[in-house]
Amino acid sequence: MNILDKIVIDKRREVDIRKSLIPISQLEQSVLFERKTNSLAQNLRQSNSGIIAEHKRRSPSKSVINQDLNVKDVANGYENAGVCGMSVLTDGKYFGGSLDDLIIARASCNLPLLRKEFIIDNYQIIEAKAYGADVILLIAAILTKQEIKQFSELAKSLNLDVLLEVHNEEELRKSIMPSLDMLGINNRNLKTFEVNLETSKQLSEHIPNDFVKVSESGISSVEAIKELQPYGYKGFLIGENFMKTDNPGESAAAFIKTLES
């Protein structure tokens, strides 16, 4: 069993518990439920840098990245740096995140916020909306085609953007549908954790131009982005690179300045 399988098993248990504690009707009464969302896809289309910066305390592959920062400072810093959007990990067991992180980020900045989560149930999409997200992540490796359709259509009905993540051509082929806004290519092999930018290059030609192309994982240099831009990539998800520093916002600002110069 690989790490992704383990995460999904734990996630199903966790979602069942959450559902029993907070019914959907209560989530729908959240003050943030009526809020007008910001489109990450639109921001990426109009941007020269395309940086989606992440708040991430730890990960299964790197263990602790940074436990000392507070979300408010990170969100402020990213916004001042001029990133296109912020990704907030809400998985507790494997990444040390929470929905509280999402709500604090929402109160601290006006950036489009991506709820970075292992979504396996409609409930989590309604939850994302209630906690102030603008975008949800769907991971093709853990979902059927029917689930991708169901979840992405629900997200669109709530005015949320949808970023679908794939790792190979097979996942990409089953996933392309009009209810997605962005297609993310994860350069990390989730079975071996090895990272290879060639994955983004090879899969780029299979992504129709209606979707914003996003490259994820292993992007730690301006050179990597310049290498991927000719392949049509408009978005670049960067987590560890900024989070492992004492001031992620300043790191992001310096990175964007170098990229745009």
The catalytic residue among 59, 108, 175, 186 is: 186
β-pairing verdict for 58-59 and 63-64: antiparallel
Residues with Cβ within 8 Å of residue 66, at least 6 apart in sequence: 56, 57, 243, 244, 245, 248
Is 81:256 a contact under the CB 8 Å cutoff? yes
116 included as an active-site residue: yes
The catalytic residue among 11, 116, 129, 234 is: 116
217 included as an active-site residue: yes
186 included as an active-site residue: yes
The catalytic residue among 56, 129, 213, 234 is: 56
The catalytic residue among 87, 200, 217, 251 is: 217
Burial class (CB in 10 A: 0-12, 13-18, 19+), 170: exposed
198 included as an active-site residue: no
28 included as an active-site residue: no
The catalytic residue among 165, 213, 215, 241 is: 165
The catalytic residue among 11, 14, 43, 54 is: 54
Q: Which of 65, 36, 44, 63 lies closest to 216, judged by CA? A: 44
Is 151:127 a contact under the CB 8 Å cutoff? no
14 included as an active-site residue: no
The catalytic residue among 216, 234, 240, 241 is: 216
- Where does the chain show beta strands of DSSP type E? 51-55, 58-59, 63-64, 85-89, 113-116, 135-139, 161-166, 182-186, 212-216, 233-238
Q: Catalogue the active-site residues.
A: 54, 56, 116, 165, 186, 216-217
